[in-house]
């Protein structure tokens, strides 16, 4: 590890803290523009102090003894600095102060950082977000064992080469139960969470520099997948012999016609329905993810499903609008439904939100500004990702314009 290249020890007095006409003396340690001070437990009359030399002025024995003591302190701190250089440790002013005072040297490690984050941020982060951090931490642990044959790693020793090796490990790793390696964006998500952990370490002053300063997180743009109206109708009209699959289908279709995410749908209660300004039933809530409010007029297919489950005992018991399964189970069962409907797309519950945004609304002429409000987005730019994937709508719009601008054939003009 590269040692610090800017270091100095100076002695100062603080005349603002005079007692009996004497000022306290401090050793000021400077490392790469960061400084700390240590009280020398000594005092001196300001007139007997040389500010330029940082030492007592005069030949009185008391002054000579003071200067000898200060020089011994200087030598001790410089000796600690040189020892750390030999050990190729990252040197900080705080570390030199701790060593001089005889305090136990605290080595901040990756495991301690992960533990601190997962303990201190339980109230600020959603459980789903925390689970993602747990997954990243597991990959880091496996990487350390494979690459460095260790269970932990000093934060100060994490550098650009470490990050590059971790990225390579993620790209080559084949998770259990998966045929292919992790996607680029999957790799970048883990690196993004790791980057946030290292930013936290800087804020805690556990490290001086964030190794990610020169590291580029590169996400690839991914087109949002959604169902066509025909695919949605096939799922909606399919008759199931399994109540489990029927419930999953109904929850998915409801989301396709309301644009709700899994967590927002799970939070619905009968009180979420109200009469809108048009006198028709609407559904309202506040997005779990962004805390933004949303208001969505209820289309007939959604109203039909609300009526279907109005007397469901499971929903009544929980006070919810629908009986709810876990998101993991929903996505698992949706794979079965996709097979039954011969849909080749990777059917997930979140695809329902994309389907609402594209097939149900934008393709039917709903303005993107109105869609943004219904989705509970706080920025229109967030909603515009859906507009980019709708080439079909562009085709329809341009076809109408082409017809409108096409010259009308005259009676004397032969149209071939």
CATH pick for 110-214 out of 1.10.150, 3.40.50, 1.10.1200, 1.25.40: 1.10.150
Residue 115 CA to residue 128 CA, distance in Å, equals 17
8 A C-beta contact, residue 255 and residue 356: yes
Give the number of other CB atoms < 10 A from CB of residue 196: 13
8 A C-beta contact, residue 112 and residue 82: no
Specify the pairing of strand 293-297 against strand 23-31.
unpaired
Residue 285 phi, psi (nearest 5):
180, -170
List the chain pLDDT tens, one digit each, 416 residues. Answer: 444 458 999 999 999 999 999 999 999 999 988 889 999 999 999 999 999 999 999 999 999 999 999 999 999 999 999 988 887 777 888 888 988 888 755 678 999 999 999 988 888 887 778 889 999 999 999 999 999 899 999 898 899 999 999 999 999 987 665 556 788 999 999 999 999 999 999 998 888 889 999 899 998 877 678 999 999 999 999 998 899 999 999 999 999 999 999 989 999 999 999 998 899 999 999 888 778 888 999 999 999 999 999 999 988 899 999 998 888 889 999 999 999 999 998 899 999 999 998 889 888 888 888 888 888 887 777 777 776 656 666 776 777 788 778 776 655 545 44
Cα distances from 333 to residues 128, 258, 326, in angstroms, run 20, 21, 11
Residue 40 CA to residue 176 CA, distance in Å, equals 59
DSSP 8-state secondary structure symbol assigned to residue 312: -
The class level of CATH for 229-399 reads: mainly alpha
Specify the pairing of strand 23-31 against strand 7-13.
antiparallel
Q: What residues does each domain of the chain span?
A: 7-100, 110-214, 229-399
């Amino acid at each position: 590890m590269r040692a610090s290249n800017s270091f100095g020890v100076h002695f100062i007095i603080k005349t603002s803290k005079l007692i009996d006409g004497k000022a306290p003396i401090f050793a000021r340690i400077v490392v790469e523009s960061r400084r700390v001070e240590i009280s020398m437990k000594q005092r001196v009359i300001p007139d007997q102090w040389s500010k330029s030399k940082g030492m007592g002025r005069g030949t009185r024995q008391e002054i000579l003894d003071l200067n000898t003591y200060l020089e011994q302190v200087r030598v001790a701190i410089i000796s600690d600095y040189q020892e750390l250089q030999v050990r190729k440790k990252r040197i900080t002013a705080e570390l030199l102060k701790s060593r001089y005072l005889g305090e136990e040297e605290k080595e901040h490690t990756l495991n301690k950082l992960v533990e601190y984050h997962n303990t201190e941020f339980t109230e600020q982060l959603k459980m789903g977000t925390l689970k993602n951090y747990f997954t990243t931490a597991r990959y880091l642990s496996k990487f350390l064992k494979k690459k460095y044959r260790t269970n932990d790693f000093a934060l100060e020793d994490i550098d650009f080469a470490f990050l590059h090796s971790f990225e390579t490990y993620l790209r080559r790793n084949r998770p259990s139960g998966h045929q292919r390696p992790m996607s680029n964006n999957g790799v970048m998500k883990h690196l993004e969470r790791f980057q946030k952990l290292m930013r936290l370490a800087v804020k805690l002053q556990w490290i001086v520099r964030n190794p990610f300063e020169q590291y580029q997180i590169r996400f690839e743009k991914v087109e949002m997948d959604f169902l066509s109206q025909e695919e949605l109708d096939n799922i909606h009209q399919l008759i199931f012999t399994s109540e489990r699959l029927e419930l999953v289908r109904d929850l998915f279709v409801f989301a396709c016609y309301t644009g709700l995410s899994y967590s927002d749908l799970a939070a619905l209660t009968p009180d979420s329905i109200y009469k809108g300004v048009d006198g028709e039933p609407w559904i309202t809530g506040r997005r779990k993810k962004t805390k933004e409010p949303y208001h969505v007029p209820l289309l007939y297919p959604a109203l039909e499903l609300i009526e279907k489950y109005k007397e469901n005992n499971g929903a009544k018991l929980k006070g919810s609008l629908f009986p709810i399964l876990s998101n993991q189970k929903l996505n698992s069962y949706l794979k079965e439904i996709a097979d039954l409907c011969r849909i080749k797309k990777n059917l997930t519950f979140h695809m329902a939100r994309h389907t609402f945004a594209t097939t149900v609304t934008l393709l039917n002429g709903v303005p993107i500004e109105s869609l943004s409000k219904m989705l509970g987005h706080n920025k229109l730019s967030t909603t515009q990702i859906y507009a980019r994937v709708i080439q079909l709508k562009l085709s329809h719009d341009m076809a109408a314009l082409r017809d409108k601008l096409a010259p009308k054939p005259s009676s004397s003009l032969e149209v071939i």
